[in-house]
Amino acid sequence: MVGSCNVDLVVRGATLPRPGETIVGEDVVRLPGGKGANQAVAAATLGAQVSLLAAVGRDETGEFMIASLRAHGVDVGHVQRSDRPTGTAFITLDQNGQNQIVVAPGANADLSLEGIDLGGFDVVVAQMEISATVVADAANRSKRFILNVAPAGPVAPAVLNQCAVVIANEIEIELFDVAQLADCIVTLGARGAVHYQKGREVLRVGAPRVEVVDTVGAGDVFCAAYAVQLARHASADNALRFAVTAGALATRGVGAQGALPTEKEVHEWLARAS
């Protein structure tokens, strides 16, 4: 995984505030997060061997993040140190688990892939919480590259052409022409996901019904699960079904890493649906 490593500061309220509105929420909770870290931990929980290429600050928050990654079995040998503070995400949740997020990148902006051999990894996954230069470098030097275009932003056509798969949600995909993407997966939240090839829908999978506590990080678990299946040479059908189920199960706990499913759990849910 190549991506961000943030601490999440989470507060829950009855509703999400409207512009200019102040609401009273519950106590703030500090949780590990960042799309790169979330996807790395999710993939490790699903049984994959995972390295995270990221940057954190020389602060207590950085130590907190590295300890959390190690505890989940992620190789942190490529996690770099920056003089900037560790990235922080400020997350507001409502009683239905919907969220609003503002991210302060901090140390993530200093991530570099110089001197790192990406060719030794079966699959490399990156997101858009790091610099576009790093994303382009990862795409250029990876055997199989997955780009999760979150948060949405411009991506050079050369980078998109090097992607084995582009993953986006319904909002993020509005910035792209699906017909120009060889393989693209659009996640639909509780409605599952759709796989497109050059703009043509080739597969649609619905999500299992679960009791949703928090939707933060569900997309990251989906990306991690799909990458794990790609590395294991699963069929497109099986990979999408596995990823959709994993993403749904991730909504059952608080925080981006609060309800990470194991491979066994995902297969048990898939067996019930068959």
The two beta strands, 87-93 and 99-104, are antiparallel
In whole angstroms, how far apart are CA 75 and each of 43, 53, 103, 177, 263? 12, 9, 24, 36, 19
Grade residue 100 by pLDDT with cuts at 50, 70 and 90: confident
Q: What pLDDT shows up at residue 252?
A: 78
Sheet strands (E) in 174-215: 184-187, 193-197, 200-205
Q: Which ranges in the chain belong to alpha helices (H)?
A: 35-45, 60-71, 132-141, 157-161, 218-231, 236-249, 263-273
Residue type, 101: I
Grade residue 16 by pLDDT with cuts at 50, 70 and 90: very high
DSSP string, 116-149: --GGG-S-EEEESSS-HHHHHHHHHH-SSEEEE-
Active site residues: 220
8-state DSSP, 252:
G
Give the whole-angstrom CA distance, residue 190 versus residue 37: 23
Residue type, 189: G
Q: What is the CATH number of domain 6-18+25-268?
A: 3.40.1190.20
Q: What burial class does residue 127 get, using C-beta atoms within 10 Å of its C-beta: 0-12 exposed, 13-18 middle, 19+ buried?
A: buried
Compute how many other C-beta atoms are within 10 angstroms of the C-beta atom of residue 190. 15
Q: Could you tell me the two tokens for 210?
A: 């679960």
The share of the chain scoring above pLDDT 70, in percent, equals 96
Instruction: Please identify which residue in the block is written with the tokens 């829908």.
Output: 201
Q: What pLDDT shows up at residue 251?
A: 84
Q: What is the mean pLDDT of residues 141-155?
A: 94
CA-angle at 70, arms to 10 and 233, nearest 5°:
95
125 has a pLDDT exceeding 90: yes
Q: What residues does each domain of the chain span?
A: 6-18+25-268
Give the whole-angstrom CA distance, residue 136 versus residue 134: 5
Instruction: Please identify which residue in the block is written with the tokens 């699960």.
Output: 225
Q: What pLDDT shows up at residue 255?
A: 61
Q: Model pTM greater than 0.75?
A: yes
Helix, strand or coil, per DSSP, at residue 216: coil
Q: What is the pLDDT of residues 213-271, one digit of tens each?
A: 766 778 999 999 999 999 999 999 999 999 999 999 988 776 666 678 899 999 998 98
Q: What pLDDT shows up at residue 273?
A: 77
Grade residue 35 by pLDDT with cuts at 50, 70 and 90: very high
